[in-house]
Amino acid sequence: MCAATAASDDPASGPTVELITSRRNPLVGRLRLLHDPRQRRQSESLLLEGTHLLQEALALGLIPELLLATPAWVRRHGTLLAALPAATRVRQAEPTVLEAAATTRSPDGVLAVLPTPSPRPPANGARFLLALDRIQDPGNLGTLLRTALAGGVEEVWLAEGADPHQPKCLRASSGAALALPIERLETDVLADRLEGVRRRGVLVVAAVLPGPAWPDPHPYWCHDWRQPTLLLLGNEGAGIDPALAPQIDSLVTIPHSPAVESLNVAVAAAPLLLERWRQSAVEGLGPGVGQGGAGGHDRTDRSGR
């Protein structure tokens, strides 16, 4: 027997349901398949772990197809269960079963299967974009996506790297990976995409460390981030692929103490992505900033374009 006939009659749990007591239950195997990126792509589904991510998904109008929860979680979250649409199938399981299906060692009592969302960028073209060149760490990627959503980014391009829908990235993003229009690209496609946005008037701004490969970057606040802009960030170790240099309009950097060689890419992204909001809030900031005016830099920063 894969499951016992024990059931919950708690009002918060809705109709009496079978309690899964065995780790060998086929449902556990199905959920574990979603730990693998290929299985997520093939099934067009992803695994949500934890109450917060479930709440974020529901707030976005996303409908889980399946929810697996412990009886204790069900008793504590009657209101949240009542908010689930009728299309969501709810199953209960012992904590050891839930732990076997999760990627975390101590899940908080609930897992959900969600069809992979596909938010679309603005129909008239995004004015603030983020391109990430081979970001490998899912925690870094999740934090970047959360900051991107806070900064008003309208479209994200991922040139290979970590999967934005793996559980660790989803948790680090606090649901931002579900809300943002994200497109995964092959690395060799990114250069063509950068050239395409430049043709429609979007400035490609790359954040780099000063050095022989990237000489004379400007402090990031010198760029007028209120202009249509794509921010390009590179791999944690290797940085931005030098092959992308011809498609970069301006180089920026974050001045900091020489006590550290470089900043973590997710940390560095915060001031860069939020500078647009700061500039918009500053009274009297002239329209010439970032357009060749005092302290500004435009396409002529790079090879006279």
Confidence of residue 258 (pLDDT cuts 50, 70, 90): confident
Q: What DSSP string describes 170-188?
A: HHHHTTHHHHS-EEEE-HH
* pLDDT, position 302: 46
Question: If we measure between CA atoms, which residue out of 27, 28, 22 comes closest to residue 4?
Answer: 22
Residue 98 has pLDDT above 50, yes or no: yes
Confidence of residue 17 (pLDDT cuts 50, 70, 90): low
Residue 124 has pLDDT above 80, yes or no: yes
Can you tell me which residue has the tokens 């992204």?
A: 269
Is residue 229 within 8 A of residue 126, CB to CB? The reply is no
* pLDDT, position 287: 43
The token pair at 276 is 């647009």
* pLDDT, position 210: 86
Question: If we measure between CA atoms, which residue out of 300, 296, 147 comes closest to residue 227?
Answer: 296
The token pair at 9 is 């009659």
Confidence of residue 301 (pLDDT cuts 50, 70, 90): very low
Domains with residue ranges and CATH for the chain = 11-115 (3.30.1330.30), 128-301 (3.40.1280.10)
Q: Where does residue 26 rank: exposed (0-12), middle (13-18), buried (19+ CB within 10 A)? A: exposed
pTM: 0.83
Mean per-residue pLDDT over the chain, rounded: 87
Mean pLDDT throughout 54-63?
Answer: 95
Contacts 24+ apart (CB under 8 A), 287-292: 287/224, 289/222, 289/224, 290/222, 290/223, 290/224, 290/225, 290/226, 290/227, 291/224, 291/227
The token pair at 140 is 């870094």
Segment (H or E) for 274: helix 265-281
Please tell me which residue, 30 or 299, carries the higher pLDDT value.
30
Q: In degrees, to the nearest 5, what angle opens at C-alpha 115 toward C-alphas 109 and 118?
A: 125
Is residue 65 within 8 A of residue 31, CB to CB? The reply is no
pLDDT tens readout for residues 236-257: 888 899 999 999 999 999 999 8
